[in-house]
Every structure is written in structure tokens, then in C-alpha cells.
Chains A and B, each alone.
Chain A
């Protein structure tokens, strides 16, 4: 298997002003950065300025496409809006295809309520599957998002969430390694 560092970007999947997911995404990003042998990048879909007069691969942006092509896996931080995912996140994900195939993805759900965004995570799974991404069995569940961080953006129950993210990232990195080996060496 090639010895390039593993690259797992973190995608913040909402453009909403005052988004609680931003703190979550920064926390998750910090956890990924701690992992040896893994490079990462913080992708804020607000900064991609996607056009809204077309969709699909017609709006593919070279920068995001290059990030996806280089990636071995993805972390998607997604808020639960009315039990679903933000339209802008779907708009972004639909702009690529070949860049995702046989790559790992882990989903971190963010909710105001107490169910850890499990509904949006479940809603994301069929989309991930059709894009060719391979989901893991660990999720990031961030309930009560508005109260989960202090005024400085620090998570209030750090030990619990660090422990959860450790399991989540362990599985995601393992899957990323296996899938890179498969993409490079196992022919269909």
C-alpha cells in the first residue's frame, strides 16, 4: 500500500448563521488532528459559495473536488433540521461522484434536542451509499448543542466526548486504511 499520509477532511455541513454545529466541527477537527499519520482539513461549506442556479456535477468546484479525490475518508458534521439534513450539504455532496467511491465516511450529528441527531444520521445513510461512500458503525452524537459548549467554544463534557470520538475515529481510520488498500490493490 502507498505510504502517503491518510487524509480525512472534516466537513461542516451547514451555512446557517449562529450554527451550533461549528463548535462541534471544530472539536471533531481537533480530535482528528491529534491522530498520528492522519492529515486533515476543515471544510466549511459556507466558504465554498456554491451556486444555486444549477446542481450536480455541473457545479463541481476544483478545490473541493481535489480535496475529495485526495481524501481517504471523510467526517461529516451535520445538524438535524426538521429531522433532515441541510439542503446545502446535499447540494455540495452531489457535486462530485468518482471522488467518493470506496472511501470511508463517519457522521457526527448535532441536535438541539436529546436524541443526538440520530434521525438525521439515519437519513444520511442512503445518500452516502449511493455516492459510493462506505459508512462506519460508530457515529458522533452531540445532543443539546446550544448548551454543549461554553462561551469560549470549549466543550463542557470533554472526557465523555473525547472518549466517544476516540472510538469513532479508530473505526474511521481503520476503514480508511482498508479501503485504500482495496482501491489500490483489489480489482473488481
Chain B
């Protein structure tokens, strides 16, 4: 996990990051050359079921 846990933008609960997915549809300066896309963290809200993405910012990069 690259940053602090996300808060759900619908209910405010702390979300759980359960995946990282390459997103080929986003133009971004942090596009990862190894994957030819943007690495998106996938977060799930355990309270309301909401889903949010956050661009992964690798700690060591």
C-alpha cells in the first residue's frame, strides 16, 4: 500500500485496498513504463460497498 488508507467519499468509512489494476485508459504523468499504463489502487468500502481508485505512488520510485 503506497499511502494512508482511503476514506469513502460516500460514507466516510476507512476503505480496504484489495487490488492494483493497470488502467490503459488514463493519460497521466505517472504512467508506469513497465506496464504501459497507470497503476490504480482499488479500494472497497466495508460499510456501504463503494469503490474508489487511487493512482499508485510507489514509495521507492
Query: B-contacting residues of A (Cβ < 8 Å)?
Result: 1-2, 4, 56-57, 69-70, 97-99, 101-102, 132, 182-188
Among residues 16 to 54 in chain B, which have CB atoms less than 8 Å away from a CB atom of chain A? 16-21, 23, 25, 40, 42, 44-53
The reply to whether B46 and A185 form a contact with Cβ atoms under 8 Å apart is yes
The reply to whether B53 and A98 form a contact with Cβ atoms under 8 Å apart is yes
In the complex, what distance in Å separates the CA atom of A56 from the CA atom of B51? 18
The reply to whether B46 and A97 form a contact with Cβ atoms under 8 Å apart is no
The reply to whether B23 and A102 form a contact with Cβ atoms under 8 Å apart is no
**B17 CB to closest chain A CB, in angstroms?**
6
A-B contact pairs, 25 of them (CB 8 A): A2-B46, A2-B47, A2-B49, A4-B48, A4-B49, A69-B50, A97-B23, A98-B51, A98-B52, A99-B51, A101-B18, A101-B21, A101-B42, A101-B51, A132-B21, A183-B18, A183-B44, A184-B16, A184-B45, A185-B16, A186-B16, A187-B16, A187-B17, A188-B18, A188-B19
Residues of B in contact with A, size category: 20 to 34
Query: A-contacting residues of B (Cβ < 8 Å)?
Result: 1, 16-21, 23, 25, 40, 42, 44-53
Closest 6 CB pairs of A and B: A184-B46, A183-B44, A183-B18, A101-B42, A98-B53, A101-B19
